[in-house]
């Protein structure tokens, strides 16, 4: 149905007309990316292929005005009067492929973007975000010694993950496990991940670097890419104490600023989870804007610390 509607909109021109109307009358659209990949990622809703990414950028160059996130409230003089939708591009987490794949395409077109960094993953390349740490073990499950594999399966089975199920998609088991664990309280989830890793032991291969490195961050910043905070460890902010909350938000900002020598003004709530206390902590830390995962357009005069976005994946672009 989505493909049919998309085709009709494209062929008739109705889609472009709606975009122009939407942009003129309703402000700006902020797009949210995570990974731009050459090979499929086990969480397809968190990734877009490089081919799709380049096609999307070409479309935006023709049909939209791509602006920096800081320009949501006010258009720069050279862009005023253009009856096209304003679009800002953002990337969450700070994956290495943002540098390898997305950055060259953005630079080639002279497009601005903001990358929200989880700083602990950059400081320690082996400190994966929890879903990647889980996937790293499960992806090697069939190659583990029998006793190690049985231990991993027992931990997952205790969390309601159906180990015996047959999956058409090779990433099916990983995604089932991630979907189950993401519903757990953070402390419980962290313990489950530690148990999975302990059960696998040293039979699992070393973790390759999948996060950005600081020299890559600096290189991107020198070419106009902006960077924002995404906490130190990507926790559920709504489950933290007030002191933990301040530390995650403030120390992330200070770490990025120490590496770039320039102010960090934008923030993105990990997994989109926030409360009134979270928003206050972000404001108090000195951030001027913050992005959520709520879907919609940003309208002039809207809450700049609760910017809605549209998550981008291959399916969404289609």
Residue-wise pLDDT for 86-127, tens only, equals 899 999 999 999 999 999 999 999 999 999 999 999 999 999
Average confidence score pLDDT of the chain: 90
Q: Indicate whether 83 pLDDT > 90.
A: no
pLDDT score recorded for residue 222: 97
Instruction: Give the Cα separation of 240 and 236 in Å (integer).
Output: 7
Residue closest to 30 by CA, chosen among 223, 287, 302? 302
Region of poorest pLDDT, from 57-61, 169-173, 194-198, 230-234: 169-173
Is 67:88 a contact under the CB 8 Å cutoff?
A: yes
Is 266:116 a contact under the CB 8 Å cutoff?
A: yes
pLDDT score recorded for residue 77: 52
Label residue 53 by pLDDT band (50, 70, 90): very high
Q: Indicate whether 174 pLDDT > 80.
A: yes
pLDDT score recorded for residue 175: 92
Region of poorest pLDDT, from 116-125, 238-247, 299-308: 299-308
Instruction: Give the Cα separation of 201 and 204 in Å (integer).
Output: 7
Q: Indicate whether 24 pLDDT > 50.
A: no
* Percent of the chain residues past pLDDT 90, beyond the cut: 77
Residue-wise burial string across 216-227, b where 16 or more C-beta atoms lie within 10 A, e elsewhere: bbeebbeeebbb
Q: Indicate whether 274 pLDDT > 80.
A: yes
State the virtual CA torsion across 123, 125, 130, 136 in degrees, nearest 10: 180
Written as six digits, the tokens of 38 are 């050459």
Q: Indicate whether 18 pLDDT > 90.
A: no
* H or E, element range at 248: helix 242-260
Q: How far is CA 48 from CA 21, 53, 54, 312, in A?
A: 27, 6, 10, 7
Region of poorest pLDDT, from 73-77, 88-92, 248-252: 73-77
Residue closest to 89 by CA, chosen among 76, 273, 109, 78? 109
Angle made by CA atoms 3, 30, 15, in degrees to the nearest 5: 35
Instruction: Give the Cα separation of 186 and 147 in Å (integer).
Output: 28
| Cβ atoms < 10 Å from Cβ of 214 | 16
Helix (H, G, I), strand (E, B) or coil at 120: helix
Residue closest to 66 by CA, chosen among 100, 34, 19? 19
Helix (H, G, I), strand (E, B) or coil at 19: helix
Tokens 């009067």 found at: 81
pLDDT score recorded for residue 275: 95
CA dihedral for 195, 196, 201, 207, sign (positive or negative): negative
**Residues 242-266, mean pLDDT to the nearest whole number:** 97
CA dihedral for 94, 294, 46, 50, sign (positive or negative): negative
Written as six digits, the tokens of 213 are 């490195």
pLDDT score recorded for residue 13: 61
Q: Indicate whether 169 pLDDT > 90.
A: no
pLDDT score recorded for residue 301: 83
Q: Indicate whether 14 pLDDT > 80.
A: no
**Residues 132-160, mean pLDDT to the nearest whole number:** 94
Q: How far is CA 159 from CA 110, 133, 179, 197, 199, in A?
A: 47, 17, 11, 15, 15
Q: Indicate whether 21 pLDDT > 60.
A: no
Q: Indicate whether 22 pLDDT > 80.
A: no
**Residues 16-26, mean pLDDT to the nearest whole number:** 53
Residue-wise pLDDT for 33-45, tens only, equals 999 999 999 999 9
**Residues 65-85, mean pLDDT to the nearest whole number:** 73
pLDDT score recorded for residue 73: 74
């Amino acid at each position: 149905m989505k493909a049919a509607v998309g085709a009709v909109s494209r062929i008739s021109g109705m889609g472009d007309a709606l975009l122009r109307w939407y942009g003129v009358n309703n402000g700006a659209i902020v797009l949210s990316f995570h990974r731009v990949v050459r090979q499929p990622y086990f969480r397809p809703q968190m990734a877009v292929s490089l081919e799709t990414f380049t096609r999307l950028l070409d479309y935006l160059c023709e049909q939209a005005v791509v602006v920096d996130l800081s320009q949501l409230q006010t258009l720069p003089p050279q862009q005023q009067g253009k009856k096209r939708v304003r679009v800002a591009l953002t990337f969450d987490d700070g994956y290495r492929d943002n540098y390898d794949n997305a950055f060259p395409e953005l630079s080639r077109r002279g497009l601005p973007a903001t990358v929200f960094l989880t700083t602990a993953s950059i400081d320690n390349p082996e400190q994966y975000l929890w879903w990647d740490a889980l996937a790293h073990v499960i992806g090697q499950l069939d190659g583990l010694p029998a006793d190690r594999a049985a231990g991993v399966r027992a931990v997952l089975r205790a969390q309601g993950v159906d180990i015996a199920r047959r999956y058409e998609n090779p990433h099916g088991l990983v995604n089932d496990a991630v979907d189950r664990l993401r519903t757990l309280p953070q402390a419980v989830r962290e313990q489950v991940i530690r148990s999975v890793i302990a059960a696998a032991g040293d039979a699992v291969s070393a973790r390759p670097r999948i996060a950005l490195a600081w020299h890559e961050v600096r290189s991107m910043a020198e070419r106009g890419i902006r960077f924002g905070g995404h906490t130190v460890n990507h926790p559920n902010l709504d489950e933290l104490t007030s002191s933990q909350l301040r530390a995650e938000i403030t120390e992330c900002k200070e770490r990025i600023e120490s590496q770039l020598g320039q102010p960090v003004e934008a923030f993105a709530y990990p997994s989109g989870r926030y409360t009134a206390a979270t928003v206050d902590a972000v404001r108090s830390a000195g951030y001027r804007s913050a992005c959520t995962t709520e879907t919609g357009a940003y309208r002039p005069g809207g809450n700049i610390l609760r910017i809605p976005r549209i998550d981008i994946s291959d399916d969404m672009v289609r």
